Chains A and B, each alone.
Chain A
Amino acid sequence: MVEFTLVSAPPLAGYSETFGTVRLTAPKDMAIVNMAIPLGADAKALKAVKTGYGVDLPEPGMSVETKKGATRLVRLAPDQAFAIFTLPTPDAEEVVAKHVKKALYLTDQTDVWVGLEISGAGALAALERVCPIDLHPAAFAVGGAARTVMEHLGVLIIRTGDECYLLLSASSSATSFLHMMETSIKNVL
């Protein structure tokens, strides 16, 4: 063996900036696991989620936080959901497996994505420049989740609070993703 330690360096790690009233932050140690519901075994899978996490899997287009707020479950499609939580180590799939056993097919997505959280007065105005989804509070409730396209980038946007949104995009284009968000904020401030 060679003396060497691998260093974890996700794109945008440690990024946090404040622009006037708007704050843009890359969440630390964000883990994501894809959960696929086996064909014809919906009931069993949904029950496993309920048992494992204490909450029901929401409808497509919505997300829900587990009781202690440790995990956010995002339903993307009838047979697909993401579990988003905090974990510094690269074993997210195993962590979710402990909750749902083998009732769902799991695939680690942590390194596929990169996250940016935008919050504060002006966040909505900045998002208006890139996001085709109607983010009006009445149309996009807290917990709402939508996959869409912003400046040619596929983005999953989740409303995590009153004026707080978590955006996920492909990790390989993290630089373009950050540039898009910073430009949007600077353009509206």
Chain B
Amino acid sequence: MTQADTTLNFVSGDEKAVKTVPVSGQVNRVGTGLINPNQKLKFSFNGKEMTGFAGDTLASALLANGQRLVGRSFKYHRPRGILTAGSEEPNALVELRGGAAQEPNTRATVTELFDGLEAKSQNHRGSLNFDVMAITDFASPFLTAGFYYKTFMWPKAFWEKLYEPIIRKAAGLGSLSMKEDPDSYDKGFLHCDLLVIGAGPSGLTAALAAARSGARVILADEDFLPGGRLNAEALEVGGQSGSQWAANAVAELTSMDNVRLMTRTTVYGAYDHGVYGALERRTDHLAKSEGKPRQILWRIYSKRAVLAAGSTERPIAFGNNDRPGIMLAGAVRTYVNRFGVVPGKEMAVFTNNDDGWQTALDLQNAGVDLMAVIDSRDVDAPVSLPGVRHLRGQGIVNTIGRKGVKAVETTGGVTLPVDAVAVSGGWNPNVHLTCHQRGRPVWREEINAFVPGGALPVGMAVAGAANGAMTLAAALAEGQAVADAQLTDLGFTPVAADLPEASDEPSKGAAFWHVKESKSRAWLDQQNDVTVKDVKQSFQEGFRSVEHLKRYTTLGMATDQGKTANIPALAIMSELTGRPIQDTGTTIFRPPYTPVPIGAFGGRSRGKDFRPTRLTPSHKWAEANGASFVNVGNWLRAEWYTKPGEKGWRDSVDREALATRTSVGICDVTTLGKIDIKGKDAGAFLDKVYSNTFSTLKVGKVRYGLMLREDGICYDDGTTARLEDDHYVMTTTTANAVLVYRRLEFARQCLWPGLDVHLISTTDGWAQFAVAGPNSRNLLRKVVDDGFDISNEAFPFMACGKVTVFGGTPARLFRISFSGELAFEIAVPARFGNSMIEGLMKAGEEFDAIPYGTEALGVMRIEKGHCTANELTGQTTAHNIGLGKMVSQKKECIGNVLSQREEMIREDDVKLVGLRPVDRSLGLIAGSHFIGKGADATMANDQGWMTSVAWSPNLGHSIGLGFVKSGDTRKGEILRAVSPVHGTEMDVEIVSAHFVDPEGERLRG
């Protein structure tokens, strides 16, 4: 090894002196490019220690270290190397990091090198060098397109159990850690006048023009170093190196308040009305995230956008064109000019266009031995390269070297020994985002590529290479011009600015897609292992549209979405069908442009943060007093309170239900929706939204209300109190609080806008407690301030009013009962809620008052035959639950017209009844269907179903509610309750739904 192999000389920017740094192992490092040679980084690949520099990507560092073989292919386990230098990479996918943070399928070409980075290659059993699965490559004649569809179809049951798992294991990509992602993710929202996507030459001139005009600008680029191809080319801009010009432009933009420069940010989708999705990688380039979000998913609201996404080079298909060391020519220039790395020491260039010659020139300047430039065209060299062999009108027909290219053979019979090849098949404008709203690209003959066409997303314009402006000078000019037009459109005055001088480099090319003379497999989609032969087979079997081609061969369906593969493949299909490429078309580009982790879409919404949690005002007290909580929507409600010695939930629930019925129980019912309704027409409004009448309700009274949908089906129910002439308070069920409010606003604004009525939710404002049981009044007498008479005479059943409690705190008292006992609900401002339950419990000490939860509440409501969502399912009529008479036909109200449809008021329809097991020791099962004695348990014989069941501690047996055909007239009848799901059957008796106190004497007492 010579001295030059182990050290690197560079000119230090500050000291203008030549410095030398050791680069042992970096055999292909020939310059400093734009890396920082003062910052050496250690990393490992498959456990092997290597070094690189700050500014390297993993790919450039691997190449610097002479690592050509980086992975195995998806299907055939072919040895593969690095093909590109960007996000379009199909081959160099690695697993990064370890443990729970292991990240599969990371493209080495966009992975920023950091100190301590650990990378592993993927998709091989055994070592990367000796992959036992490589046998599939030799079986390849059987494994062509459609193989799986044809072979593993029979027997059908084998697919899921046998074939699919084996195939999955044999093929495939990186592996998941199967552990919870230790990183956090975030989202965010940004607004701008102009979004510039891509910070290459056209993106920079666009952003400069916009920024100087005073517009709010966001400039986003997926790379960590803005500049795009300016950092990859040896071309000059304005008399300085392209990269230096880019750095100066970035410095100017960074200094301006109205510009937000976002590096490491991929704009992955264009959505309606100027909304863009972007993924910013915040800590992927750091050894540790230090608790900060790894990535941020941005929603960018733009008034206008300039897409300056550049272009992607495409390969040419030829025999064994997938060997490690065969790279795209533009990528080779990136490695040479930006990273100071050459892919090999002896190289050939194969091109169908002028641009490939630029690579040859840069390689020669980097000191690489250029064996030949092979040009498919029979044209003179567009770039002067003295001493370099020019093979005119030839192509590479085959390559040699299994784990790395060793030689190439040309159609002219020339064999060239090489360790790397640069291939250029021309450049494709990156039109992806222009198609996200179904714009269809159009074929432009002069550049042999698709350019944006059809209707672009609203507000988007395209500039530079993405728009087919394929030279540097054209890209710089177009960026500025397009931005100026967008700004003028927005009412800004563009600032006249001279464009920096740059050259129109030669850019002619030919429509040459594959070397037809090749006998060996010629690869198109290297990530999904699709070859020219597969495209031909697809054509022969009739899968000729691009959409069929894609699905039959899996072309472009890998994580790279065929960025390098699709156009050559469809061009070949176009040759086969004889239809022009324009008519062959492209498949539809959809977001995301590059992969976005699911974690980023999830953002913070993980685990308990999946949705907000709502706590009742007495939550703290409940927690301290043994409550078990249940999710009710976003609410956490106490379901029961466990006392010492209780062995299971039933012990607690039975005790709570019994204690309430024998003395007094307290339950936090804050979660029920409360809507404050005010206005001189409030009563008239309620008449319209409830099926029964509220305008006649007296001040100081409460009424049960039933709400219908317009189709006549029951929607919601609750009580509404009239506190003043023009002031009602409506309660809704917990689940429907938001929905009822929405419907009321609809009625108020859209149906009856002439009524003076105003709504506002007060659900969270009042801590409301049910105080139920024979001692409830006695308890409340110790709570409600003197001067408020709550005797049965002064404050009868269904009374309500404003009171004060505990010496002057304002409260509302309602005499309503869900339990069927003498009961009240008392509400205080929520801030007093936790204290209020303490006060109520203290006042209740002498009555052995207990708190009860939602389960005991449920038991007691079933004992009283009250409906909840189990009964009001969205298919239930008022008629079904015995409330048909509540639906007034004497006034206008939602649902009353359609509620009278024949099928909805049938006498023999199901009716709500109570049910009890004939054998009282049995437990009823909800969901059981009722079948007559001796009849088969079929739907034809179905007579109804059980909606709710509970163990009644008051009756000492199981009870149920259910719907039975004509059930209201069948009390005493015995039916069979059959549950095929549970495999059970038992005799049940139809009884009144009011199991406890059927005459309602208690609640009026």
Query: In the bound complex, what is the Cα–Cα distance between A36 and B783 (angstroms)?
Result: 33
A residues less than 8 Å from B679 (CB atoms) = 36, 38-39, 105
Q: Is there contact, CB below 8 Å, between A151 and B805?
A: no
A159-186 with Cβ < 8 A to chain B: 170-177, 179-180, 183, 186
Query: In the bound complex, what is the Cα–Cα distance between A68 and B766 (angstroms)?
Result: 31
Q: Does A142 contact B (CB under 8 A)?
A: no
Q: Is there contact, CB below 8 Å, between B678 and A36?
A: yes
Query: In the bound complex, what is the Cα–Cα distance between A172 and B634 (angstroms)?
Result: 10
Q: Is there contact, CB below 8 Å, between A172 and B635?
A: yes
A residues less than 8 Å from B810 (CB atoms) = 90-91
Query: In the bound complex, what is the Cα–Cα distance between A187 and B297 (angstroms)?
Result: 13
Q: Is there contact, CB below 8 Å, between B612 and A152?
A: yes
Question: Which residues in A have some Cβ–Cβ distance to B below 8 Å?
Answer: 1-2, 4-11, 34, 36, 38-40, 79-80, 90-91, 105, 107-113, 128-134, 136, 139, 151-153, 170-177, 179-180, 183, 186-187
A residues less than 8 Å from B613 (CB atoms) = 173, 175-176
Q: Is there contact, CB below 8 Å, between B829 and A4?
A: no
Q: A105-B726, A173-B614, A175-B615 are in contact. Are A132 and B293 (CB under 8 A)?
A: no
Interface centre among A6, A108, A111, A136 (most CB of B within 10 A): A6
Known: A6-B806, A134-B191, A151-B605; 11 extra A-B contacts, CB below 8 A, are A2-B839, A2-B842, A7-B834, A8-B835, A38-B756, A80-B760, A90-B831, A130-B187, A172-B670, A176-B613, A187-B293
Number of A-B residue pairs having CB atoms within 8 Å of each other in the complex: 160
Q: How far is the CB of B459 from chain A (nearest CB, A)?
A: 16
Query: In the bound complex, what is the Cα–Cα distance between A151 and B766 (angstroms)?
Result: 25
Query: In the bound complex, what is the Cα–Cα distance between A40 and B842 (angstroms)?
Result: 50
A residues less than 8 Å from B1002 (CB atoms) = none
Q: How far is the CB of B488 from chain A (nearest CB, A)?
A: 20
Output the nearest chain A residue to B759 by Cβ-Cβ distance: A36
Of B186, B756, B760, B843, the contact of A129 (CB 8 Å cutoff) = B186
B714-749 with Cβ < 8 A to chain A: 726-727
Query: In the bound complex, what is the Cα–Cα distance between A18 and B676 (angstroms)?
Result: 37
A residues less than 8 Å from B766 (CB atoms) = 111
Query: In the bound complex, what is the Cα–Cα distance between A131 and B681 (angstroms)?
Result: 37
Query: In the bound complex, what is the Cα–Cα distance between A171 and B832 (angstroms)?
Result: 13
Q: A39-B679, A90-B831, A129-B186 are in contact. Are A112 and B805 (CB under 8 A)?
A: no
Q: Does B455 contact A (CB under 8 A)?
A: no
Q: Is there contact, CB below 8 Å, between A6 and B839?
A: yes
A residues less than 8 Å from B676 (CB atoms) = 34, 107
Q: Does B758 contact A (CB under 8 A)?
A: yes
Q: Is there contact, CB below 8 Å, between A111 and B830?
A: yes
Of B612, B726, B834, the contact of A173 (CB 8 Å cutoff) = B612
B816-872 with Cβ < 8 A to chain A: 828-832, 834-836, 838-839, 842-843
Q: Is there contact, CB below 8 Å, between B762 and A172?
A: no
Query: In the bound complex, what is the Cα–Cα distance between A90 and B680 (angstroms)?
Result: 26
B residues less than 8 Å from A79 (CB atoms) = 758
B898-944 with Cβ < 8 A to chain A: none
B290-317 with Cβ < 8 A to chain A: 291-293, 296, 299, 301
Query: In the bound complex, what is the Cα–Cα distance between A118 and B760 (angstroms)?
Result: 26
Query: In the bound complex, what is the Cα–Cα distance between A116 and B632 (angstroms)?
Result: 26
Q: Is there contact, CB below 8 Å, between A110 and B186?
A: no
Size class of the B contact interface (CB-based, 8 Å)? 35 or more
Output the nearest chain B residue to A173 by Cβ-Cβ distance: B612
Name 21 interchain pairs, CB-CB below 8 A, sorted by A. A4-B839, A4-B842, A6-B809, A6-B832, A34-B676, A36-B679, A39-B756, A80-B760, A90-B831, A105-B726, A107-B762, A108-B762, A110-B829, A111-B830, A133-B189, A151-B604, A152-B611, A170-B614, A172-B616, A173-B634, A180-B604
Q: Is there contact, CB below 8 Å, between A128 and B188?
A: yes
B residues less than 8 Å from A134 (CB atoms) = 191, 301
Q: Is there contact, CB below 8 Å, between B189 and A132?
A: yes
Query: In the bound complex, what is the Cα–Cα distance between A2 and B184 (angstroms)?
Result: 51
Q: A129-B186, A172-B616 are in contact. Are A8 and B832 (CB under 8 A)?
A: yes
Q: Is there contact, CB below 8 Å, between A187 and B828?
A: no
Q: A1-B786, A111-B765, A128-B188 are in contact. Are A187 and B806 (CB under 8 A)?
A: no
Query: In the bound complex, what is the Cα–Cα distance between A32 and B782 (angstroms)?
Result: 31
A residues less than 8 Å from B805 (CB atoms) = 6
1/0 contact string of B599-626 vs chain A (CB within 8 Å): 0000011000101111111000000000
Q: Does B5 contact A (CB under 8 A)?
A: no
Q: Does B13 contact A (CB under 8 A)?
A: no
B residues less than 8 Å from A108 (CB atoms) = 762, 765, 829
Q: How far is the CB of A165 from chain B (nearest CB, A)?
A: 15
Q: How far is the CB of B33 from chain A (nearest CB, A)?
A: 33
Q: A38-B756, A175-B615 are in contact. Are A9 and B834 (CB under 8 A)?
A: yes
Q: How far is the CB of A3 from chain B (nearest CB, A)?
A: 8
Q: Is there contact, CB below 8 Å, between A171 and B783?
A: no
Q: How far is the CB of B307 from chain A (nearest CB, A)?
A: 22
Q: Is there contact, CB below 8 Å, between B835 and A9?
A: yes
Output the nearest chain B residue to A34 by Cβ-Cβ distance: B760
Query: In the bound complex, what is the Cα–Cα distance between A187 and B282 (angstroms)?
Result: 11
A residues less than 8 Å from B188 (CB atoms) = 128-130
Query: In the bound complex, what is the Cα–Cα distance between A101 and B141 (angstroms)?
Result: 90
A residues less than 8 Å from B836 (CB atoms) = 6
Q: A136-B191, A187-B186 are in contact. Are A5 and B807 (CB under 8 A)?
A: yes
B175-206 with Cβ < 8 A to chain A: 184, 186-191
Interface centre among A36, A174, A183 (most CB of B within 10 A): A36
Q: Does B655 contact A (CB under 8 A)?
A: no
Q: Does B485 contact A (CB under 8 A)?
A: no
Query: In the bound complex, what is the Cα–Cα distance between A129 and B296 (angstroms)?
Result: 9
Q: A2-B842, A139-B191 are in contact. Are A110 and B809 (CB under 8 A)?
A: no
Q: Is there contact, CB below 8 Å, between A2 and B843?
A: yes
Query: In the bound complex, what is the Cα–Cα distance between A108 and B760 (angstroms)?
Result: 10
B residues less than 8 Å from A1 (CB atoms) = 782-783, 785-786, 806-807
B residues less than 8 Å from A153 (CB atoms) = 612
Query: In the bound complex, what is the Cα–Cα distance between A101 and B186 (angstroms)?
Result: 48
Output the nearest chain B residue to A128 by Cβ-Cβ distance: B188
Of A7, A80, A107, A173, the contact of B832 (CB 8 Å cutoff) = A7
Q: Is there contact, CB below 8 Å, between B756 and A132?
A: no
Q: Is there contact, CB below 8 Å, between A109 and B765?
A: yes
Query: In the bound complex, what is the Cα–Cα distance between A172 and B833 (angstroms)?
Result: 11
Q: Is there contact, CB below 8 Å, between B189 and A112?
A: no
Q: How far is the CB of A100 from chain B (nearest CB, A)?
A: 14
Q: Does B761 contact A (CB under 8 A)?
A: yes
B residues less than 8 Å from A39 (CB atoms) = 679, 681, 754-757
Of A40, A111, A132, the contact of B829 (CB 8 Å cutoff) = A111
B residues less than 8 Å from A113 (CB atoms) = 764
Q: How far is the CB of A2 from chain B (nearest CB, A)?
A: 4
Query: In the bound complex, what is the Cα–Cα distance between A172 and B807 (angstroms)?
Result: 26
Q: Does B763 contact A (CB under 8 A)?
A: yes
Query: In the bound complex, what is the Cα–Cα distance between A1 and B842 (angstroms)?
Result: 11
B residues less than 8 Å from A132 (CB atoms) = 189, 299, 301
Query: In the bound complex, what is the Cα–Cα distance between A11 and B853 (angstroms)?
Result: 22
Q: How far is the CB of A70 from chain B (nearest CB, A)?
A: 21
Q: Is there contact, CB below 8 Å, between A109 and B762?
A: yes
B767-791 with Cβ < 8 A to chain A: 782-783, 785-786
B residues less than 8 Å from A131 (CB atoms) = 189
Q: Is there contact, CB below 8 Å, between A4 and B843?
A: yes
Q: Is there contact, CB below 8 Å, between A171 and B830?
A: yes
Interface centre among A79, A107, A183 (most CB of B within 10 A): A107
Q: Does B216 contact A (CB under 8 A)?
A: yes
Output the nearest chain A residue to B681 by Cβ-Cβ distance: A39
Q: How far is the CB of B195 from chain A (nearest CB, A)?
A: 14
B residues less than 8 Å from A179 (CB atoms) = 609
A residues less than 8 Å from B634 (CB atoms) = 173
Q: Is there contact, CB below 8 Å, between B614 and A172?
A: yes
B residues less than 8 Å from A109 (CB atoms) = 760, 762, 765
Q: How far is the CB of A44 from chain B (nearest CB, A)?
A: 13
Q: How far is the CB of A45 from chain B (nearest CB, A)?
A: 11
Query: In the bound complex, what is the Cα–Cα distance between A139 and B732 (angstroms)?
Result: 39
Q: Which 3 residue pairs of A and B lie closest in terms of their CB atoms, listed nearest first? A: A36-B758, A39-B756, A176-B612
